[in-house]
Structure 1
Amino acid sequence: MCNDYRLMIELASVIEQFEHRKIKIRFPEGRPNIEAREDIKITDAAPIVRGVEGERGAGELVQRRWSWPSPTKKPVYNFRSEGREFTSNRCLIVADGFYEFTTPADPKKKRKDKWLFRKTGEPVFAIAGIWRETEDVGEAFTMLTMEPGPDIAPYHDRQIVVLDRGDWVNWLDPSVSAADLIKPLPPGALTVEQVG
C-alpha cells in the first residue's frame, strides 16, 4: 500500500486549486511553511485540509503527522474504506503524486521498482483521509484504501482513494455518503512512470 507520496508545488498553487473547487481555505494555526517534498513518508508531518463544522465549502489547512500508532504501536498509515461511512473527521490529503513499489523483474536487483502515479492533467489532487486525536502523537491522519482501479491494478492489489476534483467539497461534508464518493477513477485518469 501507499507508504510514500509527494507534494512538489507551492502553497499558493495549492490554495488556488481549492479556490477553483469553491473551497475557501483558512489557516487556524497560521500559514504553514510548506516546502516541495519528493518523498513524504510515514510519521512525517504533511498538509491536510479538514472541513469546518457547519460550513460547507470551507476548509482548514493544517500540518499533521501521517499515521497514528495502533494498539501494537505499528503505524496506521492506510485504512480500509469498505463498509464504513466516516461521519466525522474527514480530511483531504494534498498531493501531486504517490508511489507504489513492485518486485523487480531482474532477480539480481536488490531494490524494488518504484512507480510514480500522478493525476492526468491536474497539478494537484486530493486523497481521501481521516484524522484523529491520539494520546501518543496528538492529531494524525491516515489514507483510505479500496480495491484497485484500472490504472493501479497492474501494480498493486489495493489502492489509496484518489478523489475526483468535483468530490472534494463533498468529502469535507460528513453528511454526504462516503460510499457515493469512494470509487475508482476511470482508465487513464492516472499516469504512471518508473522512477528512482
Structure 2
Amino acid sequence: MCNLHTVRKSAAEVAAHFGVRNPLASNAPEESYPGTPGLVVREEAGERILQSMTWGFPLRLKGMSPTAKPKPVNNIADLRKPMWAGLARKPQWRCLIPLTGFAEAEGPKGAKTRTWFSVKGQPIFAWAGLWRHSDEWGPVYSGAMTDCNEAIKPVHDRMPVLLMPDEYDDWLRGDFDQALAFQERSFPSDLIEMARTSELWVKRKGTLPSPAGQLL
C-alpha cells in the first residue's frame, strides 16, 4: 500500500517529461500523503494537462458522523470493482501520477523508517491512476496497485502500477482490457532501485502517512 510519494522536480520539468504544453498552476508539495495535494497528468481534447489534485477519493465509512472528514481512498486494489470499473472503462478518467520516488515503511512499530523506490534511468516516472471530480475536495485521484515484484518483496507485498514512457498513451487511451493488463502484469524487478534510509516514517507530530489512506 503506497501512502507516500514524491515529485522532487519543478513543474516545468514534469511538464516537459509528459509532453504538457500549458501546465496549470500547482500548489503540490514535494511530498504527498493521502488527503493532501499531488500532481496529476490527464488528457482533455487530445491535450495533456498537468494539475494539482487531492490524493484520495473521499469515502464515508459506516457509522461516521455526517460532519466527520471523509477517508481518502488513495490506492486501487482492483480496477474491476464497482467503485472503479465505471471510471476505468472511460479513458477520460485515467491519469498519470508523476513520481520521482515512492516510499514504504520498514522497522519496528513507533520507529519505522522510510524505504524509497525509484525506476532505473527514469528521473521522473509514472504511476497509473484514475481521477474524478468530488463535491468534498474538488478534483481527486487514486493510484492502481498490483502484486509486488521480487525487488519490492522484502518490504511489501504490493506496489504501484508503474509505467514506462512508451506506455503512457496505452494507459491514457487504451481499452479496459489494456488497463487491466497493466494491473495484472509484473513490473520488471531489474528496473527498480531501492534506498533504505534512517528517515523516520512519521517526521513530525500530526504527520501520519501510513494510517491515513484507504485501499479498495
> TM-score, normalised to structure 2's length?
0.76
1:59 aligns with 2:63: no
Is contact 1:87-1:174 (8 Å) kept? no
CA deviation profile, 1:59-118 (whole Å, cap 9, x unmatched): 1111100012213132201111354661121000011000001234xxxx7311210101
- SS class of match (2:18): helix
Unaligned runs of 5+ in 2: 62-69, 200-216
Q: How does 1:1-196 map to 2 (within 5 A)?
A: 1-19=1-19, 25-27=20-22, 31-33=24-26, 37=30, 39-53=31-45, 55=46, 58-72=47-61, 73-81=70-78, 83=80, 86-88=88-90, 89-104=93-108, 110-175=110-175, 177-182=178-183, 183-195=185-197, 196=199
Deviation at residue 35 of structure 1 after TM alignment = 6.7
For 1:179 and 1:68, the matched residues in 2 are separated by 20
Where is the helix percentage greater, Structure 1 or Structure 2?
Answer: 2
Where is the strand percentage greater, Structure 1 or Structure 2?
Answer: 1
RMSD: 2.1
For 1:167 and 1:119, the matched residues in 2 are separated by 14
2:132 partner amino acid: R
Unaligned runs of 5+ in 1: 20-24
Equivalence for 2:211: none
- SS class of match (1:16): helix
Is contact 1:102-1:112 (8 Å) kept? yes
